[in-house]
């Protein structure tokens, strides 16, 4: 059962949305733009005059009276960024090289109601720099503010650094955003996927990631292990050498058999000519997507590759905001968009990216990579909600970030035959093991 205050708050959200809808209709006939301007989307959302209460540049936006009267007055009392580093039990090997260690930042947000939320910031390297950004620059914009105004907080934090959206700032915001959604869900006693109001899937399809770019014998063994674990869909890393990559594509298909669904991730390994040659091998061996064949900035290259292959193209883990994904999604160059929730501004912005992809008929496939259990779990919630969700990456490294940091097992440990159940507890549906956090703290 919902707390009566929370239920009332949600009811009033619907009332507010209904009122906005009525006003939008009214604008068509009476040209009354008062309410529509407040809520009309992307271009205004980034404008400094809209809804960022922490900015010194403008007065706070007026809040609907219903919110101020009935919303529970849960206020943020502290924001603490924890920089964490671990040695990977097994190295990850891609076209970029070998990863022995990986880092992240766990964001803890405390409230005056005693509810604590957690989020995760993608910070593969230099986690202390990310933690400093959050603690010194984002934290002051949040202290004392009501938890539920997540969009207002997002816009306030976005103004912490000047320049275009992207980089460390948006990754830092991602951790805060996820933590705020966790608190909101705990306060409402609802899982986040339910707050998002989407499809409400109780389980989602996942694919195994990844077979490393290692020698043939080791790659064979990794493939066998994934098949034994019951994964029907498996991703294979390829390297910079085009001919060797094509040989790996053919070898894995022969070994896995025609029944296995295979894709590759090249981590920007090729130029256009190389990518066309690899794409031909993928077509011949019936792979289901070609992930990040080119540099993420080479949008013209992606468009040209799209014309020269029938293999679906996937990308998006390098994008920070919906604006950066817009061109290749809108013109259907990509068949699948893969934002990483711990990079792409958290639940709020990732949901916008998935929704934009849906409008354009493009699929959504959450990227996880070497991130931790909070990133993985937040991704499951959004995946549960989005109508265009194709499948989620299930990174099967046995890293403590995924297997020890919380009271739930990792996705790779919980999946059964490529299906993963969605958490049902309030918020993210997990509790952090703070002893493990201390053990993994970056020295």
Which residues in this chain contact Mg ion in the complex, by CB under 5 A? 265
Q: Output the residue with the shortest Cβ distance to Mg ion.
A: 265
Kindly state the smallest distance separating residue 292's Cβ from Mg ion, in Å: 5
Closest CB to Mg ion among 92 and 155?
Answer: 92
Closest CB to Mg ion among 139 and 233?
Answer: 233
- Residue 170 CA to residue 2 CA, distance in Å, equals 33
Closest CB to Mg ion among 222 and 265?
Answer: 265
Kindly state the smallest distance separating residue 95's Cβ from Mg ion, in Å: 10
Angle between helices 373-385 and 167-188 (to 10 degrees): 70
Contact predicate 377/222, CB 8 Å: no
- Residue 369 CA to residue 104 CA, distance in Å, equals 12
Contact predicate 299/276, CB 8 Å: no
Strand pairing category for 203-211 and 392-395: parallel
Kindly state the smallest distance separating residue 216's Cβ from Mg ion, in Å: 22
Closest CB to Mg ion among 370 and 378?
Answer: 370
Kindly state the smallest distance separating residue 99's Cβ from Mg ion, in Å: 13
Q: Tell me the three state secondary structure of residue 37.
A: helix
Closest CB to Mg ion among 139 and 395?
Answer: 395
DSSP letters along 132-189, please?
HHIIIIIGGGTTT-BTT-HHHHHHHHHTTS-SSS-HHHHHHHHHHHHHHHHHHHHHHT
Closest CB to Mg ion among 153 and 402?
Answer: 402
Exposure of 56 by Cβ count < 10 A (0-12 exposed, 13-18 middle, 19+ buried)? exposed
**What are residue 203's DSSP bridge partners?**
421
| Phi (first) and psi of residue 50, to 5 degrees | -110, 110
Run of H or E residues at 73? none
Kindly state the smallest distance separating residue 338's Cβ from Mg ion, in Å: 7
Kindly state the smallest distance separating residue 220's Cβ from Mg ion, in Å: 22
Kindly state the smallest distance separating residue 266's Cβ from Mg ion, in Å: 8
Exposure of 97 by Cβ count < 10 A (0-12 exposed, 13-18 middle, 19+ buried)? exposed
Q: Tell me the three state secondary structure of residue 27.
A: helix
Kindly state the smallest distance separating residue 55's Cβ from Mg ion, in Å: 35
Closest CB to Mg ion among 265 and 404?
Answer: 265
Closest CB to Mg ion among 177 and 265?
Answer: 265
Closest CB to Mg ion among 134 and 206?
Answer: 206
Kindly state the smallest distance separating residue 369's Cβ from Mg ion, in Å: 7
Exposure of 102 by Cβ count < 10 A (0-12 exposed, 13-18 middle, 19+ buried)? buried
Helices and strands: H and E segment counts in the chain: 18, 12
């Amino acid at each position: 059962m919902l707390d009566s205050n929370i239920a009332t708050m949600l009811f009033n959200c619907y009332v507010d949305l209904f009122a906005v809808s009525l006003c939008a209709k009214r604008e068509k006939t009476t040209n009354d733009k008062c309410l529509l301007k407040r809520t009309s989307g992307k271009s205004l959302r980034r404008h400094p005059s809209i809804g960022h209460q922490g900015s010194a540049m403008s007065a706070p936006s007026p809040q609907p009276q219903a919110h101020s009267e009935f919303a529970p007055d849960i206020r943020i009392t502290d924001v603490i960024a924890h920089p964490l580093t671990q040695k990977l039990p097994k190295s990850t090997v891609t076209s970029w090289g070998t990863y022995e260690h990986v880092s992240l930042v766990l964001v803890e947000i405390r409230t005056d109601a005693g509810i604590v939320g957690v989020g995760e910031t993608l910070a593969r390297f230099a986690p202390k720099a990310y933690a400093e950004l959050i603690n010194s620059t984002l934290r002051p914009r949040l202290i004392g503010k009501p938890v539920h105004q997540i969009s207002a907080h997002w816009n306030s934090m976005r103004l912490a650094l000047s320049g275009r959206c992207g980089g460390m700032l948006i990754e830092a915001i991602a951790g805060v955003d996820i933590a705020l959604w966790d608190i909101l869900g705990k306060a409402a006693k609802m899982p986040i996927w339910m707050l998002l109001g989407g499809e409400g899937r109780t389980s989602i399809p996942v694919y195994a990631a990844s077979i490393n770019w290692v020698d043939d014998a080791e790659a064979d063994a990794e493939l066998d292990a994934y098949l034994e674990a019951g994964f029907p869909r498996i991703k294979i890393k390829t390297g910079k050498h085009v001919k060797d990559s094509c040989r790996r594509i053919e070898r894995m298909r022969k070994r896995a058999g025609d029944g296995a669904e295979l894709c590759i991730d090249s981590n920007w390994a090729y130029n256009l000519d190389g990518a066309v040659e690899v794409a031909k091998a993928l077509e011949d061996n019936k792979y289901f997507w070609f992930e990040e064949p080119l540099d993420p900035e080479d949008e013209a290259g992606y468009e040209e590759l799209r014309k020269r292959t029938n293999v679906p193209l996937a990308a998006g883990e390098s994008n920070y905001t919906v604006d950066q994904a817009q061109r290749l999604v809108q013109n259907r160059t990509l068949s699948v968009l893969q934002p990483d929730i711990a990079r792409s501004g958290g639940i709020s912005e990732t949901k916008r990216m998935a929704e934009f992809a849906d409008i354009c008929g493009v699929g959504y496939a959450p990227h996880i990579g070497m991130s931790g259990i909070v990133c993985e779990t937040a991704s499951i919630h959004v995946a549960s909600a989005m109508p265009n969700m194709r499948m989620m990456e299930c990174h099967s490294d046995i890293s403590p970030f995924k297997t020890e940091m919380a009271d739930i097992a990792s996705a790779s440990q919980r999946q059964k035959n490529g299906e993963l159940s969605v958490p049902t507890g309030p918020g993210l549906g997990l509790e952090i093991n703070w002893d493990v956090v201390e053990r993994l703290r970056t020295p």
